[in-house]
Structure 1
Amino acid sequence: MINESPKYSDIIITARKLFWKHGISRVSIEEICREANVSKMTFYRFFSNKVELGKTIIDNIMDESIEKYRSLMKQDIPFEEKIRKQLLLKFEGTKEISAEFVKDIYSNKKLGLHLHWQKRADEFTKEVRYDYIKAQNEGFIRKDLNLDFMFYFSSKSTDLLTDPQLLKMYDNMQDLIMEYANLFFFGVFPRHNEKSKP
């Protein structure tokens, strides 16, 4: 199988590291091959172009996130603790992420990766939505919170994370992502940490 090939893994690991640091558009196939110590012929055996490689990396990121999320939600701990751990996962997952990478995913229409990202994000959101409806019914999320608004607000994060004015307010992309995540997550809990009545 292709994904069991060491060369395939080398390309994926190297490209993810380079894309994370410099963005996708600024990294060339030649640079990926040089850093991964593979030939261009080997690269093209696995990927038709850099965009296809980008989609594979997006899929890997999403699959890892979903797996970690499901594992966390199965834990026998309070819902609020699950949210705190979710934030820690997000913190770990966004370490050293560059503004260029975020822009290339969300707003570089030439690359077209935003459509692939959005498709995967929508699939994940359906699962999260189900869990949040259940948590709200059980009183762990504010009863007066309109979950439709919450998920609509969440869908607008792409606009915020690529806003040049907002980016100027933070030293790095991770600080902005975590500020947004804290605001988003901790706005859902019942006031004064009191469990809402079901």
Structure 2
Amino acid sequence: MDGFKRRSELKKTSILQAALNLFMKYGIKKVSVAEIAKEADVSQVTIYNYFGSKDKLVDEVIIFYMEDVWREYERIINSDIDFTEKITQFIFNKKTSASSIHEEVYNYIMQEFTSGENSYIEDFYTNKALPEMIKLFNQAKEKGQIDRNISNEAILVYIQMFREYLQKKEVYEHILPLTEDLTMLFFYGIIGGRVEKK
């Protein structure tokens, strides 16, 4: 990558990070392009040149956020720490905790996920998150931290039940404060099945 492209990418990243910081603090609707430009130390014209519109910027910010969170999750999954410690880090991850994500941003992500309009989020779930979760559970089975007799098919059904319920608008619009509790119930529900079948 030449110097111009590198500077361009750095500027784009700076805009995305500035917008993310503001969205997480104030929500999406209350934040103007002018405020994002000021936070990123660029002109509004620069933002429109890169993203075209605020709506497209919001989409790019959500992708930027999810990729950032995913890099952290991948680091945890691929680390040498104990499975239960990995789960603890998932549950109490500061980037995804209810205190660090604005409800409007959370609802936006869930709305896009359930609408089927944003193929990125569906693709992210299907091709990144799900395979890595199965990999994580397989690692735990090998170490005897999850009952080896629990099939991946059963785990996938369990994940799907959570997913389908959380995709309901009347649920996801009110559930953000419970995310840590639900994540705990989700993972420890799987870990809890450690009694070997006879």
> Which of the five TM-score ranges fits, normalised by the shorter chain?
0.7 to 0.9
| Equivalent residue in structure 2 for 1:11, among 15, 32, 35 | 15
Distance 1:4 1:88, change over 3 A: farther
Partner of 1:60: 64
For residues 32 and 171 of structure 2, what CA distance do their matches in structure 1 show?
23
For residues 182 and 147 of structure 1, what CA distance do their matches in structure 2 show?
15
Which aligned runs of 4 or more in structure 1 are off by greater than 6 angstroms? none
| Equivalent residue in structure 1 for 2:155, among 140, 147, 152 | 147
Partner of 1:170: none
Please give the TM-score of this superposition, normalised by the length of structure 1: 0.74
Partner of 2:167: 158
| Equivalent residue in structure 2 for 1:184, among 166, 186, 189 | 186
Determine if contact 1:58/1:117 at 8 Å carries over to the other structure: no
Partner of 2:36: 32
Give matches, 1:2-151, under 5 Å.
4-89=8-93, 91-94=94-97, 95-107=99-111, 114-123=118-127, 124-136=129-141, 138-142=143-147, 143-144=149-150, 146-151=154-159
SS of corresponding position for 1:120: helix
**1:140 positional shift:** 2.2
Determine if contact 1:20/1:101 at 8 Å carries over to the other structure: yes
Q: What is the RMSD of the two structures over their aligned residues, measured on CA atoms?
A: 3.2
For residues 117 and 55 of structure 2, what CA distance do their matches in structure 1 show?
7
Determine if contact 1:14/1:35 at 8 Å carries over to the other structure: yes
**1:4 positional shift:** 5.0
Distance 1:153 1:60, change over 3 A: same
Identity of aligned residues (%): 24
**1:3 positional shift:** 6.5
For residues 6 and 71 of structure 1, what CA distance do their matches in structure 2 show?
23
**1:105 positional shift:** 2.1
SS of corresponding position for 2:66: helix
Please give the TM-score of this superposition, normalised by the length of structure 2: 0.74
Distance 1:74 1:114, change over 3 A: same
For residues 54 and 2 of structure 1, what CA distance do their matches in structure 2 show?
22
**1:70 positional shift:** 2.4
**1:48 positional shift:** 1.5
The one-letter code sitting in structure 1 at the alignment partner of 2:42 is V
